[in-house]
Amino acid sequence: MKVLFLVPRYHTNMIAIVEGLQQAGHSVAMICLRRESVEDYTFLIPHILGDNFTQDDAKDLIRDMRPNLVLCRPEEHGHDTLAWFARRQGCKVVQYDQSSSTRPDGLRALLKDIALTASRVLRRGALWRMSPNTGRQGERPCLWTRPYPFPMHTNADEDAQDSNGVDLTILFVGKLSMARKRHTWLLDALENVEKPAKVIFVGEGFDPQTAASNRSADYYEELIDRINRSEFHDMEVHVDMDYYALRQLYRKADIFVLATAREQYGISVLEAMASGCAVLCADSSGVACAIQHGNNGMLFEEQSFQDFNAKFLDLVNDAALRQRLGTAAFESVRDNHPISRYAEAVESLLD
């Protein structure tokens, strides 16, 4: 099978996707709208539009490759023309995103689902949609939507955790200039932690070319200043960290925190679980569908700092709880998110 991705950029969370398809014997190509500072080309070198690669070049690639399947992201209008061109060449076009693959009951929800499906077909010829977000239990599947397990690299059981000489290491991964990531919730909760800990923040820095407003710069500067002023805890900040270096940090972490509001599907949570971290994230996050609260992770009420703080302190103060949740997290990702499962899900789209 030949698979073509039309994507905004070659995000690090696509490394396992590409590797899984290649291991299954499929050919993979990728056309991106832009290049970012942190990308890894171990398995694939993408074509970047505007970087000595034009729309005509992209159409030539589609003609020559004749992909069986074209997977495109919905929010990038620059790829709509290419998606429709691929469909006219006889390719099957599928939209993939991270919004829920279920819908609530009711006529309004059904009509909205039909309208969104029609819009997808008209804009890019995508008859199908796929998402890793399986939504809430009991809700109906969206029309023409298939869920898939987001593929993860997992560490071996005996190597899942790697002590770094401190009693407690807390990891927060999220764009450092984005206020909705709520890094400050973790900083506020740390004021209630009585024993010093190592606290590591990792994320993309402020980029004026992609920032939505100057508020992003203000938030970034205030966040870094507050982290630097901390004297009780051992704080670290890593900007634009390499994917494989980040995986080593996951292995050293005891607790992983995703405090973000309105997160469609936080892949970093699964990455942390794949390394045996005890994870804490909002109950409204799309990735919450992979967490059974109190079994393989912890969920807090999205709008409640009090709930976040209480559950964070539970993890901080109970080493046995962290160990139990981390072990279960690793096992659930190992069993449910192997890279081979993604290839099987993509192959089923051609059935």
pLDDT tens digits in sequence order for the chain, 351 residues long = 999 999 999 988 899 999 999 999 999 999 998 888 778 899 999 999 887 889 999 999 999 999 999 999 986 667 899 999 999 999 999 999 999 999 988 999 899 999 999 999 998 999 899 999 998 877 889 989 999 999 998 874 444 444 455 689 999 999 999 999 999 999 999 999 999 999 999 998 877 655 555 568 899 999 999 999 998 999 999 998 988 899 999 999 999 999 998 788 999 999 999 999 999 999 999 999 999 999 999 999 999 999 999 999 999 999 999 999 999 999 999 999 999 999 999 999 988
DSSP track, 234-299: EEEEEES--HHHHHHHHHH-SEEEE--SS-S--HHHHHHHTTT-EEEEETTSGGGGG--BTTTBEE
Please, where in the chain does CATH 3.40.50.720 lie?
Answer: 2-148
What is the model's pLDDT at position 158?
44
pLDDT confidence of residue 78:
72
Ordered DSSP codes for 71-134: EE-SS-GGGHHHHHHHHHTT-EEEEE-SS-SEE-SSHHHHHHHHHHHHHHHHHH---EEEES--
DSSP 16-74: HHHHHHHHTT-EEEEEES---SS---SS---EETTSS--HHHHHHHHHHH--SEEEE-S
Do 84 and 124 meet the contact criterion of CB atoms below 8 Å apart? yes
Asked if 187 and 227 touch (Cβ cutoff 8 Å), the reply is yes
Q: Which fold has domain 2-148?
A: Rossmann fold (3.40.50)
Amino acid code (one letter) for 3? V
What's the pLDDT at 138?
79
Assign 225 to helix, strand or coil. Answer: helix
Beta-bridged to residue 233, according to DSSP, are: none
DSSP code for 180? G
Q: Of 246, 250, 243, 268, whose CA–CA distance to 40 is shortest?
A: 243
Query: What's the pLDDT score for residue 262?
Result: 78
Indicate the pTM of the whole model. Answer: 0.89
Angle between helices 305-317 and 183-190 (to 10 degrees): 60
Q: How many Cβ atoms sit within 10 Å of the Cβ of residue 179?
A: 16
Give the DSSP H/E element, type plus range, for residue 221: helix 214-228
> 157-336 has which CATH code?
3.40.50.2000
The answer to whether 154 and 181 have CB atoms below 8 angstroms apart is: no
Tokens representing 303?
């709008």
Domain with CATH 3.40.50.2000 in the chain: 157-336
- Do 350 and 68 contact (CB within 8 A), yes or no? yes
